[in-house]
């Protein structure tokens, strides 16, 4: 008997055992009625599981790995029933875990060339690293097979967002390695009821404004209700770099040949670190260990009332998740002061990417594409995605659904100012390194001068090892 026949026999035997028959009774049944009867039993077994025999033989299961909760796991699960109607022979198993745990785990899985996952709902910050490893499947050839979908999504998603999933910008002929059903950037979240009670008429425009608001709503530090994501490593690094950029600084003198010289221990770097230290007396203590999940929880339950730099999330405007849904408003993250000051929140967003190690690429593509449907493909899918905490990259959907997600208007206002993570393989390592130094400073382990010197030297060592400085 071949492997396929052996597998089917095993399934038939499982059915009979489900009927509480012993191994001897199973053998007797086979001897009395033969395999025709067992085949009929097999059909009944499949029917009980909602499958036809042909379907069971053809069904492919793919695994989608997503961060747990809002924006990623929830909307994927919401569109699954609709996907099942269109693709009954593709089953999707969604594996989810907290984003702070998942991001480093995906880096390990891709380095190990794991074939466990067919899709990963991944932060674009890791895409350059995966591309350097040759770990991602290009998807242009799939898009070319559906010209109508290709034209629609490329027109609806800003090119700057789609470029996050290319090996280089579209204008330079870049190849596409993922699709973004999710767009994001850091936002300024504030409880309008809290600000009004304190006599504050508008959110912060500058970091000096943010500091003044923090003092006012906390009673000069008596109530610690200000928060941001300062978890050691990547998260603290992201907050610091946003402050640095808001004062006119950045990672490097320029990104290109003859450049890549680190510019962290600078006047702008000192301004950014000083402002972060000034804000700390008003920060709710759990900010020091907060990534997305902890921040969302704190905002939903009322522990935080002002988050001047925080990643976007749809649950704050959803009464199913918080009683403050009508009170949470958003605006652009504050800018610094001085001649070089600018708004510079980090661009965010998680796209669906396909590991080159997947054994089910055609099926994985269908689910990737489905999660990126717009109204021209199926408005029911788009609506299910948004209503179940999705945060689309499609401009048409962001505009349409401001009625149920008012913060979408603030997101659209902020996205033009957003600056992407560094598009090099060392990006994640650099943020982790800088964020570790930031944590040492704000917890009192180092002074700000030493912290900036150390992040400067360590970041320079990473770039030197990467071969960015040609002799």
pLDDT at 9 over 80: no
Give 22's pLDDT tier (boundaries 50, 70, 90): very low
Q: Same domain, yes or no, for 130 and 197?
A: no
Per-residue pLDDT, 470: 82
Question: If you average pLDDT over every residue of the chain, what do you get?
Answer: 90
Q: Which tokens in the block code for residue 205?
A: 């425009």
Cα 378 from Cα 370, distance rounded (Å): 9
Give percent of the chain above pLDDT 70. 88
Average pLDDT over residues 353-365: 98
Read off the pLDDT of residues 86-113 as tens digits, 9 standing for 90 and up. 999 999 999 999 999 999 999 999 999 9
The boundaries of the domain holding residue 455 are 186-347+421-465
Per-residue pLDDT, 409: 93
Q: Same domain, yes or no, for 456 and 426?
A: yes
Q: Same domain, yes or no, for 212 and 320?
A: yes
Q: Same domain, yes or no, for 253 and 310?
A: yes
pLDDT at 230 over 50: yes
Instruction: Look at residues 56, 75, 98 and tell me which one is the last residue of a structural domain.
Output: 56
Give 43's pLDDT tier (boundaries 50, 70, 90): very low
Q: How many domains does the chain have?
A: 3
Is the CB of residue 67 less than 8 Å from the CB of residue 350? yes
Per-residue pLDDT, 376: 97
Read off the pLDDT of residues 162-205 as tens digits, 9 standing for 90 and up. 999 999 999 999 999 999 999 999 999 999 999 999 999 999 99
Is the CB of residue 420 less than 8 Å from the CB of residue 185? no
Average pLDDT over residues 403-414: 92
Q: Same domain, yes or no, for 311 and 436?
A: yes
Q: Where are the alpha helices (DSSP H) in 174-223?
A: 192-197, 207-217
Could you tell me which of 336, 333, 286 has the C-alpha nearest to residue 310?
Answer: 333
- Is residue 402 in a domain? no
Structural element, H or E, at residue 84: helix 73-86
Structural element, H or E, at residue 434: helix 427-442
Per-residue pLDDT, 58: 84
Give 314's pLDDT tier (boundaries 50, 70, 90): confident
Per-residue pLDDT, 42: 47
Is the CB of residue 308 less than 8 Å from the CB of residue 239? no
Phi, psi of 64 (to 5 degrees): -110, 125
Read off the pLDDT of residues 413-460 as tens digits, 9 standing for 90 and up. 999 999 999 999 999 999 999 999 999 999 999 999 999 999 999 999
- Is residue 126 in a domain? yes
Average pLDDT over residues 320-340: 96
CA 412, 413, 417, 421 dihedral sign is negative
Average pLDDT over residues 367-381: 98
Q: Same domain, yes or no, for 166 and 315?
A: no
- Is residue 203 in a domain? yes
Read off the pLDDT of residues 67-84 as tens digits, 9 standing for 90 and up. 999 999 999 999 999 999
Instruction: Look at residues 56, 80, 98 and tell me which one is the last residue of a structural domain.
Output: 56
Number of CB atoms found within 10 A of residue 55's CB:
12
Q: Which tokens in the block code for residue 229?
A: 């994501």
CA 192, 196, 199, 201 dihedral sign is positive
Q: Same domain, yes or no, for 245 and 178?
A: no
Three-point CA angle 207, 271, 243, nearest 5°: 50
Read off the pLDDT of residues 252-283 as tens digits, 9 standing for 90 and up. 999 999 999 999 999 999 999 999 999 999 99
Per-residue pLDDT, 57: 55
CATH code, domain carrying 235: 3.40.190.10
Q: What DSSP letter does each residue of 312-375 carry, written as one string? A: --GGGG-TTT-TTTTTEEEEPPPB--STT----PBEE-EEEE-BTT-S-HHHHHHHHHHHT--T
Q: How far is CA 461 from CA 67, 130, 288, 440, 455, in A?
A: 32, 21, 27, 19, 10
Q: Same domain, yes or no, for 360 and 218?
A: no
- Is residue 373 in a domain? yes
Cα 174 from Cα 180, distance rounded (Å): 16
Give 309's pLDDT tier (boundaries 50, 70, 90): very high
pLDDT at 32 over 80: no
Q: Same domain, yes or no, for 274 and 370?
A: no
Q: Same domain, yes or no, for 337 and 358?
A: no
Q: Same domain, yes or no, for 269 and 300?
A: yes
Average pLDDT over residues 243-251: 98
Report the relative pairing of strands 119-123 and 60-67 from DSSP bridges. parallel
Is the CB of residue 312 less than 8 Å from the CB of residue 319? no
Q: Same domain, yes or no, for 360 and 429?
A: no
Per-residue pLDDT, 366: 98
């Amino acid at each position: 008997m071949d492997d396929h026949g052996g597998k089917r026999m095993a399934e038939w035997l499982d059915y009979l055992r489900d009927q509480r028959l012993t191994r001897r009774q199973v053998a007797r049944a086979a001897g009395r009625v033969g395999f025709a009867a067992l085949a009929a039993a097999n059909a009944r077994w499949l029917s009980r599981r909602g499958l036809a025999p042909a379907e069971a033989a053809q069904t492919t299961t793919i695994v989608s790995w997503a961060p747990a909760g809002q924006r990623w796991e929830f909307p994927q699960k919401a569109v699954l029933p609709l996907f099942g109607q269109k693709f009954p022979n593709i089953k999707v198993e969604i594996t989810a875990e907290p984003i702070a745990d998942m991001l480093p785990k995906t880096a390990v899985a891709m380095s190990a060339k794991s074939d466990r996952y067919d899709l990963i709902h991944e932060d674009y910050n890791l895409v350059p690293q995966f591309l350097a490893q040759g770990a991602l499947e290009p998807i242009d050839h799939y898009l070319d097979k559906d010209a109508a979908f290709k034209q629609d999504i490329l027109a609806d998603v800003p090119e700057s967002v789609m470029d996050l999933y290319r090996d280089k910008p579209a204008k330079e002929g870049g190849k596409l390695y993922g699709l973004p059903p999710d767009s994001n950037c850091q936002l300024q979240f504030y409880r309008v009821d809290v600000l009004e009670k304190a006599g504050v008429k508008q959110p912060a425009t500058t970091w000096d404004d943010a500091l003044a608001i923090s003092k006012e709503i906390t009673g000069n530090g008596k109530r610690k209700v200000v928060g941001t994501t300062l978890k050691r490593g990547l998260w603290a690094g992201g907050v610091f770099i946003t402050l640095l950029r808001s004062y006119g600084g950045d990672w490097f003198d320029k990104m290109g040949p003859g450049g890549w010289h680190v510019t962290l221990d600078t006047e702008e770097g000192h301004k950014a670190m000083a402002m972060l230290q000034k804000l700390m007396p008003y920060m709710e203590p759990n900010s020091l260990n907060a990534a997305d999940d902890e921040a969302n929880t704190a905002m939903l339950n009322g522990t935080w009332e002002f988050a001047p730099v925080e990643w976007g999330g749809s649950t704050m405007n959803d009464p199913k998740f918080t009683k403050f849904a009508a009170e949470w408003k958003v605006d652009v993250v504050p800018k610094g002061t001085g001649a070089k000051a600018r708004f510079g929140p980090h661009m965010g967003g998680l796209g669906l990417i396909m590991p080159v190690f997947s054994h089910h690429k055609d099926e994985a593509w269908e689910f990737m594409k489905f999660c990126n449907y717009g109204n021209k493909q199926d408005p029911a899918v788009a609506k299910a995605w948004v209503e179940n905490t999705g945060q689309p990259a499609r401009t048409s959907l962001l505009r349409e659904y401001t009625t149920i997600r008012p913060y979408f208007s603030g997101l659209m206002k902020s996205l033009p100012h957003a600056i992407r993570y560094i598009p090099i393989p060392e990006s994640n390592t650099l943020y982790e390194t800088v964020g570790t130094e930031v944590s040492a400073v704000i917890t009192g382990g180092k002074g700000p001068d030493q912290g900036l010197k150390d992040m400067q030297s360590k970041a320079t060592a990473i770039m030197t090892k990467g071969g960015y400085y040609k002799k």
